[in-house]
A and B are shown apart, each in its own frame.
Chain A
Amino acid sequence: MRGTSVAPRVAMTAFVVLLVVIPWIAPPFWVTLGNYIGLYSIVALGLVLLTGVAGQTSFGQAAFVGLGAYTSAWLTTHAAWSPWLTLPAALVLTAAMALALGFITLRMKGHYLPLATIAWGIALYLTFGNLDWLGGHTGMSGIPALSIGGFGLRSERRYYALIWAVALAALWASRNLLDSRPGRALRAMKGGLEMAEAFGVDGARLKTVAFVYAALLACVSGWLYAHLQRFVNPTPFGINQGIEYLFMAVIGGAASVWGAVVGAALITVLKEVLQDVLPALLGRSGNFEIVVFGIVMIVLLQFARDGVWPWLARLAPTRRAGTVPAASPLPSRQADRPRHAALLAVRGVRKTFGGLVAVDDLSFEIRPGEILGLIGPNGAGKSTTFGLISGSLRLSGGEILFRGRSIGSLTPYEIAKLGIGRTFQHVRLLGYMSVLDNVALGAYLRGRAGVLRASLRLDRAEEARTRAVAARAIERTGLRTHMFDEAGSLPLGTQRIVEVARALAADPVLLLLDEPAAGLRFLEKKALADLLRGLRSEGMTILLVEHDMEFVMGLTDRLVVMDFGEKLAEGEPDAVRQNPAVLEAYLGGT
């Protein structure tokens, strides 16, 4: 993302120079093609964010393009609005529609949004074609050309400059967005939803934001299209075009903003060629290019899912930046350390899965500033209890109080906001992101920068402080040398420590650790124990769910022992060790 080597800058400069030069040296047909590539790039860029980054998909982007085009077409021809005023109107209308669709579908599994966009895209397309006041299937003509302060944009060449200025601005803003607080959370939506929610990210809301962002880009493209063609009809806004937009993003490489441009260019040029060649070759007219596009997609998804861009990017290798700017860390989230007798109270908690009782009438308390160990044999219900406290599982009965407030019905991100941080038993890191970025995601709740500020690069001061926080957490956990490594490249034991560092970056009052010592070597365990002791001395409260008795015995203040979903014993480690019931559960009796 943040290259310091020269090659990408050279490539970038060459690209921009080429863009600027093309309209002056190339034949008019190329300029037209360039215009369309620009328009399509803007739409595909939205899909890169939505699909490649956030892991959601829409086949209905063409409908949003149509919404932008039709809004401006009608308002300029029937209501005599200035085209510059129709743009905000179109954006508001599009945002409202996308917001409604996203709100409805994005709380559910990922396939409902694409299905909804197919149906909605077709419905809107047919509506355009059937409403007489929108010109029906023949469409609307006489849309005015754009002009900037008397400088007319009637010629294709001048319009080209406008389209690509918008496209480059959108690329710049999207790239900024990905390298920011909301961008990190957005990247976590793909395969890391539960983890991100545990650090305060409202997943459904963020996915909706991504969808609206993509819809707005599509709308801008439609607005530009309407004033380029100065005529609209329903044809370019149908479902097939919507599908082709997605193909552009996927073929180009949906993980990078540049994939959008590459994909738009490839599909546009390929379509132009195929529409000439195929009918001549087959001796029959028809849009046979969709067969080729479809086959390319199938082969690509079977063999090279990341698209074309990664291959191009390899030609100009980037090095990851190796410095963290000096900045004061973000303010602590906890001004006052709590003085409740019990920081967390678990009261008569029960959890059933169908007929299976996993946790039955469990009660215990965690006192401020202590390390409480929750132990028990396999299947005792430790992890279920952990899930209930962190909000990833719903209570079947009883209640859980945090600082005197019931949290049993809260979502994981609401619980995170109250000051509970956690790690995951099965490591949940974003493997392709650096350790620093992974840990910085932990500090999500300590920052405030939103999509707009991030896109416009107004978040840099806060971002520097976030990175300072993350760097500090990484140093405390002894991972300084791995700060810029890809998280997925580390050994599993080290990844567990990254989990701890990420939880620390959140600055929690209560830290929930789910088997943090599993898979660690002796010295690593010792270092982890020292770290936890250090945290306790600073006033942190820790709940430790663990398997490893030796690790727990030397570290914890008190233990709660579970077996078969019930509490077997509670007390200081030495007392628990002598408890006959505990001995029987662990060593097996008759």
Chain B
Amino acid sequence: MDLSIAALLAQDGITNGAIYALLALAIVLVFTVTRVIWIPSGEFLSYGTLTLAGLQLGKAPGTVGLLVALAIVAGIVEVASSWRRGELARLPWRLLLWVGIPLAIALVLARAAPLHWPFPLQVMLTLAAVTAMGPLQYRIVYQPLADASVLVLLIVSVAVHFVLTGLGLWFFGAEGSRTPAFSDASLQAGAVVFSAQSLLVVLASLLLIGVLYLFFGTTLYGKALRATAVNRIGARLVGISPSFAGTLTFALAALLCAFSGVLIGPITTVYYDSGFLVSLKGFVGAIIGGLVSYPLAAAGALLVGLLESFSSFWASAFKEVIVFTLIIPVLLWRSLAAHHHEEDE
């Protein structure tokens, strides 16, 4: 391996690592605020790529059907819970929120598809459509289970992963999609060539991380989420509604995943079930940060990207094996660092 190959591998690793980092951040965010171990994050990535690919081809993506289906279920859940609590007066507003908005997005998506909108608009539409599915998922699946143990929430997450994978196959079909590169340009720096594509991915990830940093540091909603993550009961006592925090969290997390789906589209062919393995790499990164630390999770995700790209050079058939086996030494390190036996919540 000479320097130029090493530089190429490093560039690949960092590019993929940046995408894994977005997933790792989404996973940490969801876990700290809601205690949900968000296995189905990967499906949102797949949906992101496949939605954008559909729009580029000028045909309505499967996302339309998914949104309609989720909106109908959310509507039923809302009617049932409003009925049970005797809050029927609020029902129209809730239906507008949970059914109206998703349906409106689905409608725009279906109408816009054949019109070949400019690329940035297509990206915005993709992000809006996939992001909308985050709160819907929370409302339908997790909100009714807000008091369940971490273990139950984890099992539910795996069930949701099953459902979303199967629905992905139904709505998007078995064929994979790839979106065109954002740019074919490249930069030469000495013997090393940087592709503009890679630079864009890294820059876009950094930008999104920066925006999130500002959101959590300066806005009231961001602070409310941080407060909930630190102390759920305390946050509730000062008036932060857990279901509001959950809804907002799932919207942000879905946005992160959809964004990474847009970024990964030109790099690799994405199938309806590709997201799962990508999200697991995000999980390995997040676990390096103990599922609580954002900077460590992002650094861990970068490490996963680099490890994967270098092992694809040495032992390409085993690169996934190597990446997933990394979790063992990581857990060993964390376990030895944990002084005391931890009791579950």
Contacts and interface: CB of A to CB of B under 8 A. Distances in A.
A100, A111, A193 — most chain B CB neighbours (10 Å): A111
Contact of A294 (B150, B152, B166, B169): B166
A293 B158 CA distance: 11
Given A130-B321, A294-B166, A298-B141, A107 B158 contact: no
B325 A123 contact: yes
A19 interface: no
B5 to A, nearest CB: 23
Interface string B307-345: 000000000011011001101100110110011111111
B159 interface: yes
30 contacts: A56-B151, A100-B328, A107-B341, A108-B342, A109-B150, A109-B342, A112-B287, A112-B331, A116-B328, A118-B283, A123-B325, A126-B324, A127-B318, A191-B344, A193-B344, A204-B341, A246-B158, A284-B170, A286-B170, A286-B174, A287-B169, A288-B169, A293-B159, A294-B162, A295-B163, A298-B159, A302-B145, A305-B152, A411-B340, A411-B341
A116 B158 contact: no
B154 A57 contact: yes
Contacts of A372: none
A108 B150 CA distance: 13
A101 B335 CA distance: 11
Interface in B253-309: 277, 280, 283-284, 287, 291
B151, B280, B332 — most chain A CB neighbours (10 Å): B151
B91 interface: no
B155, B169, B338 — most chain A CB neighbours (10 Å): B155
A115 B151 CA distance: 11
Nearest to B173: A284
B66 interface: no
Contacts of A316: none
A123 B324 contact: yes
Interface string B143-160: 011001011101110111
A274 B165 CA distance: 16
Contact of B162 (A114, A130, A193, A293): A293
A368 B205 CA distance: 66
A394 B321 contact: no
A290 interface: yes
Given A57-B154, A127-B321, A104 B160 contact: no
B341 A197 contact: yes
A326 interface: no
B166 A287 contact: yes
A194 interface: yes
B170 A282 contact: yes
B30 interface: no
B127 interface: no
Given A130-B317, A191-B344, 18 more contacts: A101-B328, A104-B332, A105-B331, A108-B335, A109-B345, A110-B150, A112-B287, A114-B151, A115-B283, A119-B325, A193-B343, A240-B162, A243-B158, A246-B155, A286-B166, A288-B169, A295-B159, A297-B159
A120 interface: yes
Contacts of B165: 290
B19 interface: no
B151 to A, nearest CB: 6
B99 to A, nearest CB: 20
Contacts of B145: 301-302
Contacts of A246: 155, 158
The 7 A-B pairs with the shortest beta carbon distances in the complex, nearest first, are A291-B166, A294-B162, A294-B163, A297-B159, A123-B324, A119-B324, A119-B327
Given A105-B331, A122-B324, A126-B320, A111 B155 contact: no
Interface string A192-212: 011001000001100000000
A247 interface: yes
Contact of A107 (B141, B155, B335): B335
A284 B175 CA distance: 13
B47 to A, nearest CB: 15
Contact of B155 (A240, A250, A282): A250
B37 interface: yes
Nearest to A413: B341
A282 B274 CA distance: 23
A301 B328 contact: no
B227 interface: no
B325 to A, nearest CB: 5
Interface string A238-249: 001001001100
Interface residues of A, number: 55
A513 to B, nearest CB: 22
Contact of A109 (B167, B325, B327, B344): B344
Contacts of B170: 282, 284, 286, 288, 291
A9 to B, nearest CB: 33
A243 B341 CA distance: 27
Nearest to B141: A298
Interface residues of B, number: 50
A63 B332 CA distance: 20
B206 to A, nearest CB: 27
Interface in A55-111: 55-57, 59, 100-101, 104-105, 107-111
Contact of B343 (A118, A120, A194, A286): A194
B156 A297 contact: yes
A374 B230 CA distance: 33
Contacts of A301: 145, 148, 152, 155-156, 159
Contacts of B345: 109
Contact of A130 (B163, B318, B344): B318
A240 B150 CA distance: 21
Nearest to A123: B324
Nearest to B174: A286
A111 B344 CA distance: 9
A108 B334 contact: yes
Contacts of B332: 104
Contacts of B320: 122-123, 126
B287 A55 contact: no
Contacts of B341: 107, 193, 197, 203-204, 411
Contacts of A288: 166, 169-170
A100 B327 CA distance: 13
Contacts of A240: 162
A111 B151 contact: yes
A289 B165 CA distance: 11
Nearest to B329: A104
B167 A119 contact: no
A42 B345 CA distance: 29
Given A116-B327, A288-B166, A298-B159, A107 B321 contact: no
Given A57-B155, A291-B162, A291-B163, A110 B344 contact: yes
A130 B317 CA distance: 7
B333 to A, nearest CB: 9
Nearest to A412: B341
Contacts of B166: 286-291, 294
Contacts of A291: 162-163, 166-167, 170
Contacts of A305: 148, 152
A100 B155 CA distance: 23
Nearest to B276: A239
